[in-house]
């Protein structure tokens, strides 16, 4: 298990690695320390979001951190970024073996000025108020930046799913890590356990009966999956309803992520910005829990299972694919394409759950 320490001193945020057996030295006064770990997919011993070898985060990985004090009406230190980011997110990146803040060099318009800007710094204030704090963190990969028909400028820091996962960066970006920690008071030492909120299918192909084995041109696709290419995956956050700092009218984290307690930490759909209603929603996939909205979703608003996903190839007979938690209404179809050769099989499983790894063996017959 990999544990990393995030030391934040005013304008500086550093990360040092240590094993669980090492003793962490006492920190200087008012130093904020964030430790984190990655819980692997169920059935796999190594964490697989961060890099393909499963050894840890890679340079270029981004996380976002939101802090909510749900039991007081006042805004406490940590809840606000004083307008320097949308929805009061602190944005961090992996660089040179350490976690640091996003800067203008990362080409994000974080504060909505139509210029590249840096992230506000969570260590620039004391966070010691005597009220419960909730810390939510997740990986993200793209920024949505748009104007509504009424002229509202909206920025959203989104985890985006890729249906075509042949490139390793698209496979890794499709995997969503999410963590939430509850503290009795404001704290200087917070530990976050990141969990996989997507599922993963590993395919092992048996081509022994073929006259010629599969070649380097072989590719595997899965048809009949939720059509969510380039869409933001939304994880339910029970405490989002108590978020006091929410940007851009109703196009915000609170409206997309608020849910009933039973759905906290579960994927509840994809983020949809509805201009006609001037707000954001999480539109469910089949089998997703229905969020705590007064809105009743029509059949046309439930994500159709018409998507085709393309797997990441490890070698000619081994593939991996990130898929969303859902329950399919019909069996998806596995296709193997290799030059002019085509092979089709049915995927017997219809239900997929957060953090689960599903090994699938595929025997190819002539």
pLDDT digits (tens, 9 = 90+) for 138-148: 999 999 989 99
Q: Read off the pLDDT of residues 201-218 as tens digits, 9 standing for 90 and up.
A: 999 999 999 989 999 999
How confident is the model at residue 76, as a pLDDT? 84
Q: Tell me which of 20-24, 156-160, 217-221 is least confident.
A: 20-24
How confident is the model at residue 229, as a pLDDT? 98
Q: How many C-beta atoms lie closer than 10 Å to residue 361's C-beta?
A: 9
> Could you tell me if 110 and 119 are in contact, meaning their C-beta atoms sit under 8 angstroms apart?
yes
Q: How many C-beta atoms lie closer than 10 Å to residue 159's C-beta?
A: 25
pLDDT above 60 for 71: yes
Average pLDDT value for the chain: 84
**In this structure, what token pair is assigned to residue 6?**
């995030």
Residues facing 342 on adjacent strands: 337
pLDDT band with cut points at 50, 70 and 90 for residue 156: very high
Q: Among residues 284, 206, 242, which one has the least CA distance to residue 131?
A: 242
Can you say whether the dihedral through the CA atoms of 260, 265, 266, 271 is positive or negative?
Answer: positive
How confident is the model at residue 29, as a pLDDT? 43
How confident is the model at residue 111, as a pLDDT? 86
How confident is the model at residue 54, as a pLDDT? 41
Q: Among residues 355, 350, 10, which one has the least CA distance to residue 195?
A: 355
pLDDT above 80 for 329: yes
pLDDT above 70 for 108: yes
Cα distances from 13 to residues 78, 95, 99, in angstroms, run 16, 11, 7
pLDDT above 70 for 241: yes
pLDDT exceeding 90 applies to what percent of the chain?
A: 56
How confident is the model at residue 349, as a pLDDT? 96
pTM: predicted TM-score of the whole model, two decimal places: 0.87
How confident is the model at residue 125, as a pLDDT? 58
pLDDT above 70 for 294: no
Cα distances from 112 to residues 42, 77, 117, 201, in angstroms, run 39, 22, 9, 38
Between CA 58 and CA 12 the distance in angstroms is 20
Q: Read off the pLDDT of residues 83-101 as tens digits, 9 standing for 90 and up.
A: 889 999 999 887 776 677 8
């Amino acid at each position: 298990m990999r544990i990393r320490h995030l030391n934040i001193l005013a304008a500086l945020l550093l990360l040092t690695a240590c094993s669980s057996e090492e003793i962490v030295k006492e920190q200087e006064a008012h130093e904020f320390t964030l430790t984190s770990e990655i819980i692997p997919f169920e059935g796999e011993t190594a964490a697989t979001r961060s890099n393909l070898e499963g050894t840890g985060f890679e340079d270029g990985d981004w996380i976002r951190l939101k802090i909510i004090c749900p039991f007081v009406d006042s805004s406490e230190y940590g809840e606000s970024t004083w307008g320097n980011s949308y929805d009061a997110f602190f944005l961090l990146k992996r660089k040179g073996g350490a976690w640091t803040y996003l800067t203008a060099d990362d080409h994000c318009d974080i504060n909505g000025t139509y210029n590249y800007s840096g992230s506000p710094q969570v260590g620039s204030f004391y966070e010691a108020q005597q009220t419960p704090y909730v810390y939510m963190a997740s990986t993200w990969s793209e920024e949505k930046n748009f104007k509504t028909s009424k002229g509202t400028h909206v920025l959203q820091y989104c985890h985006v799913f890729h249906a075509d996962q042949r490139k390793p960066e698209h496979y890794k970006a499709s995997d969503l890590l999410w963590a939430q920690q509850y503290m009795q008071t404001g704290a200087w030492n917070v530990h976050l356990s990141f969990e996989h909120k997507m599922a993963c299918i590993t395919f092992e192909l048996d081509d022994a009966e073929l006259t010629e084995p599969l070649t380097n041109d072989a590719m595997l696709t899965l048809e009949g999956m939720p059509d969510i290419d380039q869409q933001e995956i939304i994880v339910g956050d029970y405490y989002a309803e108590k978020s006091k700092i929410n940007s851009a009218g109703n196009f915000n984290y609170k409206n997309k992520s608020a849910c009933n307690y039973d759905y906290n930490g579960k994927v509840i759909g994809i983020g949809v910005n509805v201009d006609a209603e001037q707000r954001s929603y999480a539109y469910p996939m089949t089998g997703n829990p229905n969020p705590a909205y007064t809105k009743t979703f029509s059949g046309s608003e439930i994500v159709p299972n018409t998507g085709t996903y393309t797997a990441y190839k490890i070698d000619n007979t081994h593939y991996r694919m990130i898929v969303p938690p859902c329950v399919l209404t019909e069996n998806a179809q596995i296709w193997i394409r290799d030059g002019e050769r085509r092979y089709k099989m049915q995927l017997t499983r219809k239900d997929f759950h957060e953090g689960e790894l599903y090994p699938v063996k595929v025997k190819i017959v002539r």
